[in-house]
Amino acid sequence: MNLLFLLLSLSAFASPSDVIYGEDNRRDLVDETNPKYIQYAQATAAKVPTIFMRTVGKDVIFRTMTLVDRGICDTERFAKQNTVAMCSGFLVGPKTLVTAGHCIKNINDCKNFRWVFDYATTVKDQTRITVTPKKVYSCKKVISQHYDDIEDYAVIELDREVKDRTPLAFRKTGSITPGTPVMVIGHPSGLPTKIADGANVRTLDSHWFTANLDTFAGNSGSAVINTITGEVEGILVRGEEDYIDDPARGCKFAHQCENDQCRGEDVSLITGIPGLP
């Protein structure tokens, strides 16, 4: 099992995203005060390997490691929280979930992972998270998927309807414009749900836009939401390097940039993706 934990750790930090821009705007669900943001977060799911899940009594428990266990400096935010998510996803229909194309490449990814809702902190300083089995879903089939340097998306059908939360609304026509404020909800570095706003669209391309979102590996597949309209504008797919080595301390610290510096984080536009309801 230690080898499997190591593989999970390496794959998380090798993912092509991301970084802190300006102030670190990430916050736990338990610290969120905006009821709309809380509702958005309820439609967010974590992609979790089945080998790290076990049902005990009425709870699903997770075998996890903290960021410190994975070589992150203990002075970093959330360093002592547990990590288990490989990617993020979000609900757009009763049984339809959207994520990044590099998170779901084929039917084997459906078989070997589960999508877990409410992998989030509910009390201050929470160290152990459990969920009930009804919050765990498997992937029945891949409706559409594409992954290359231009397009990166996946639409999947879950094994049953999600009846206790509202799917996210998403843009169907037109396009977001540079300067528009956006937010992201997902699982940076595999952590429990994090909400991060305070970002804006920098540039717009035909298939994606770039924004100064505070995201990390594990955020791949996260919903990027227009904070004015409340609609999903796209899927977080790639960005800057997450962590930087500190040889003197023998650990890594979060990469930080000014709001208008570094490459920005790339978001696949949700308009035009096939298979959406």
Question: What whole-number distance in Å separates Cα of residue 253 and Cα of residue 73?
Answer: 6
Q: What is the pLDDT of residues 97-148, one digit of tens each?
A: 999 999 999 888 889 999 999 999 989 888 789 999 999 999 999 999 999 9
DSSP 31: G
pLDDT surpasses 60 at 16: no
For the chain, the domains span 1-272
Facing residues of 97 across strands?
91, 156
Q: 3-state class of 51 per DSSP?
A: helix
**265 token code pair:** 């984080």
pLDDT at 15: 44
Question: What whole-number distance in Å separates Cα of residue 209 and Cα of residue 13?
Answer: 23
Facing residues of 243 across strands?
254
**140 token code pair:** 């029945």
pLDDT at 244: 85
Q: How confident is the model at residue 259 (pLDDT cuts 50, 70, 90)?
A: confident
Q: 3-state class of 54 per DSSP?
A: strand
Residue of 25, 20, 24, 41 whose CA lies nearest to 232: 41
Contact yes or no for 224/233 (Cβ under 8 A): yes
- Say which residue the tokens 């877990």 belong to: 116
Question: What whole-number distance in Å separates Cα of residue 56 and Cα of residue 259?
Answer: 45
- Say which residue the tokens 């992150």 belong to: 72
Q: How confident is the model at residue 17 (pLDDT cuts 50, 70, 90)?
A: very low
Question: What whole-number distance in Å separates Cα of residue 264 and Cα of residue 267?
Answer: 10
Q: Report the chain's mean pLDDT, rounded to a whole number.
A: 91
Identify the residue with better confidence: 18 or 11. 18
Q: What is the pLDDT of residues 194-212, one digit of tens each?
A: 999 999 999 999 999 999 9
pLDDT at 243: 85
pTM of the model: 0.91
pLDDT at 186: 97
CATH code for residues 1-272: 2.40.10.120
Question: What whole-number distance in Å separates Cα of residue 226 and Cα of residue 197?
Answer: 10
pLDDT at 263: 80
Percent of the chain with pLDDT over 90: 77
Q: How confident is the model at residue 9 (pLDDT cuts 50, 70, 90)?
A: very low
Q: What is the pLDDT of residues 47-91, one digit of tens each?
A: 999 999 999 999 999 999 999 999 999 999 999 999 999 999 999
Contact yes or no for 27/77 (Cβ under 8 A): no
pLDDT at 7: 40
